[in-house]
Structure 1
Amino acid sequence: MILNPARRRCLLGGLAGSVLALPVRAAQEQAVHLPGTEQFSLATSGGGYQVMVRPPRQAPRFAAGHPVLYLLDGNAFFGAYYDAARMQSELADDAILVAVGYPTPEPFDLARRAYDFTPPLPVGQTPQPGWPTLGGELEMMAFLSQQLLPDIARRFPVDAHRQVLLGHSFGGMFALSLFYAQPERFSQIVAISPSVWWQDHFILARERAFTAQAQAGKVALLGKRLLLMAGGAESAQTLQLTHSLARRLDSALSGQGLEVGHVVLADETHLSVPVAAATTVLRQVLTARRV
């Protein structure tokens, strides 16, 4: 399946086409392994996932167990967050980093992430020619809740009230959708440059329904935190949509206990911001008050 550059950028949620033109690796080139990390595979009916883990370096600070940061698009971002944790050992050494990736040496698997992070097409709408299959978000949510999180909890003593999910672009859109559908699953959500424009801003309806439920007292938000981030050199649309989302949720739900943070990293682009954000993310999510 071949996508033209414009469609590839769209399906990546704005990731520039330059990421896709990756050099072919020489056959004799050896893989680089990050010291003190683990890697394993988890199989699903739709294809396996490559899971990369930086275990905790010290005993948990709280008796409940270790905090866990789950990274979507793990192939692309695990190295940056691994280094950020190593350089902030006094902050991050009791934390677990879990990167959810795909069995590929490349930073992104376009077809898999396009399926995993998107909702089904609206009724009556057919995919455009050349597009990968979309609409697998429910399967991805089930994989996280029924396979990955329980697997990590079997391997380590995990604090169920300090689990964080981070997604960028399409992954940020998915993280928001999961939060609206299963707010009990993670204590914190980090959505970096989320693609809230996708499918004519479909996610706004989910936001409105979630807000109404929370305001009616049907959703427990005490101790929940949403961190929205963007790069200062991103498009005006991305900056405006991310800022507006932060303002709406803070205004509507802070009274119900939801803490909303909004950070813009100056000079960062759509491609650079998730990596540049690593230090800020760790500092913010690991110092958040535990309820």
Structure 2
Amino acid sequence: MTRTFLALWSALLLSAATALQAAPVTLDATEQWAMTSAEGREYRIMISLPEGDVPSTGYPVIYLLDGNAYFPAFHAAKRAQARLRGAVLIAIGYPSTTPLDFVRRAFDMSPPAPQNRNTPPQGGQDLFLDFIETRLMPKVSQQFKVNQDQRSLVGHSFGGMLGVYTLFTRPGLFQHIVAVSPSLWWQDKYLLAPERAFTRRTLAGQVDLTHNSLTILMAERDSVQMIQDANALQLRLQGLSQFGLRSGFIVEPGEDHASIPFRIPNRVLDELIGTRRF
């Protein structure tokens, strides 16, 4: 009898554990879209919904790259404090079970590469920005009353590199960009060429930077070269402050390249949603 009871009890516990394991965690105040680019690439769009009354000017919108990895932390930080809830957080991810889809992000966030260095495939940065500009942003504007003067982009590593590239090539797409440990070294510092072109256009009066800002956040334990390159970029961009561009450079103590995205969500959201800019 005792043996039968123990067997039944074990079976019940196993059944309960299996049921618990099968139930996915759902984040409150979120929704998810499945979208495709013009070329048929699939994206998983995770939205942290705004809470409270709609501002008269519309909701500020923050676009977050590598959403599979970083959306939960940013969503939790946004909901934890009332002053941060009145914004839309749009995280761009992939239909993948891994936090970082290295193959997809390597293509979406990089410039074209020579054939002998094109593994995994690279060169999709402009196609990815086209998807954001022509497909994702219009859908966000259809679903929410958006403040078109408060669009921000946050990216880490390759995502930070893409953020800097976006400022240089499409400065009107986002008003505020936060580049976290950007890979400025990639492809022999390929961003130097678009930076020079951006500077020439700005000096010629062809770019309006009145409302633009770029903040570079580095981890203390990023490589010395990465920190030096990022600091040098920010110093060069200071020369464009007379045209309205605001730039900042911050080193997070005690963090490394992998940990920094989880250290900064509250600070980033507080500054992007508020009136101050780092």
Both proteins in one fold, TM over 0.5: yes
Residues 1:87 and 2:80 are matched in the alignment: yes
Residues in 1 aligned to 2:121 and 2:185: alpha-carbon distance in whole angstroms: 19
Deviates more, 1:163-172 or 1:234-243: 234-243
Matched, 1:127 2:116: yes
2:28 equivalent to 1:40: no
Whole-angstrom distance in 1 between the partners of 2:248 and 2:22: 42
Provide the residue aligned with 1:202 in structure 2.
190
State the Cα distance separating 1:279 from its structure 2 match.
Answer: 1.1
The offset of 1:240, in angstroms, is: 1.0
Q: CA deviation at 1:83?
A: 1.1
Structure 2 counterpart SS, 1:85: helix
Q: Could you report, residue by residue, the CA deviation over 1:65-94 in whole angstroms, capped at 9, with x for unpaired residues? A: 00011000000000110111112222x111
Quote the residue 1:273 is aligned against.
260
**Counterpart pick for 1:238 among 211, 226, 242:** 226
**1:214: Cα distance to partner?**
0.7
Which of 226, 238, 252 is 2:214 aligned to? 226
Note the C-alpha offset of 1:30: 2.8
SS at match of 1:127: helix
Distance in structure 2 (CA, Å) of the matches to 1:132 and 1:189: 27
Find the aligned partners of 1:88 and 1:204 in 2 and give their Cα distance: 39
Deviations, residues 91-110 of structure 1 (Å, cap 9, x unaligned)? x1111111000001210111
Letter in 2 for 1:66: Y
Letter in structure 2 aligned against 1:287:
G
2:104 to 104, 112, 131: 112
Question: Aligned residues, how many?
Answer: 258
Larger helix proportion, structure 1 or 2? 2
- 1:284 matched to 2:271? The reply is yes
SS of the aligned residue for 2:116 comes to coil
Q: Mapping of 1:119-158 within 5 angstroms?
A: 119-121=111-113, 125-128=114-117, 131-158=119-146
Tell me the residue number matched to 2:14. none
In the alignment, which residue of structure 2 is the partner of 1:70? 63
Return the letter of the residue paired with 1:208.
R
Q: 2:94 aligns with which of 102, 107, 114?
A: 102
**How far off is 1:60 after superposition?**
3.5
Alignment RMSD: 1.7
- Partner Cα separation in structure 1 for residue 258 and residue 23 of structure 2: 26
**4+ runs deviating over 4 angstroms:** none
Q: C-alpha separation between the residues in 1 aligned to 2:133 and 2:92?
A: 13
Task: Spell out, residue by residue over 1:11-66, the C-alpha distance to the aligned partner (whole angstroms, 9 max, x if none).
Answer: xxxxxxxxxxxxxxx995432111110011001224210000011101234x2200
Amino acid of the residue matched to residue 43 of structure 1?
T
Q: How does 1:238-257 map to 2 (within 5 A)?
A: 238-250=226-238, 252-257=239-244
Q: Which runs of 5+ in 1 are unaligned?
A: 1-25
Give the partner amino acid of 2:116.
P
Among candidates 147, 150, 160, match of residue 172 of structure 1: 160
SS at match of 2:33: strand
Structure with the bigger RCO (C-alpha within 8 Å, sep 6+) is 1
| In 1, Cα distance between equivalents of 2:242 and 2:117 | 43
Which amino acid letter does the alignment assign opposite residue 104 of structure 1? S
Task: List runs of 5+ in structure 2 lacking aligned partners.
Answer: 1-17
Within 2, Cα distance between the matches of 1:289 and 1:116?
Answer: 31
Q: Structure 2 CA distance, aligned partners of 1:260 and 1:216?
A: 20
- Paired with 1:46 and 1:248, the residues of 2 have a C-alpha distance of 39
| Greater radius of gyration (CA) | 2
- TM-score, normalised via structure 2 length: 0.89
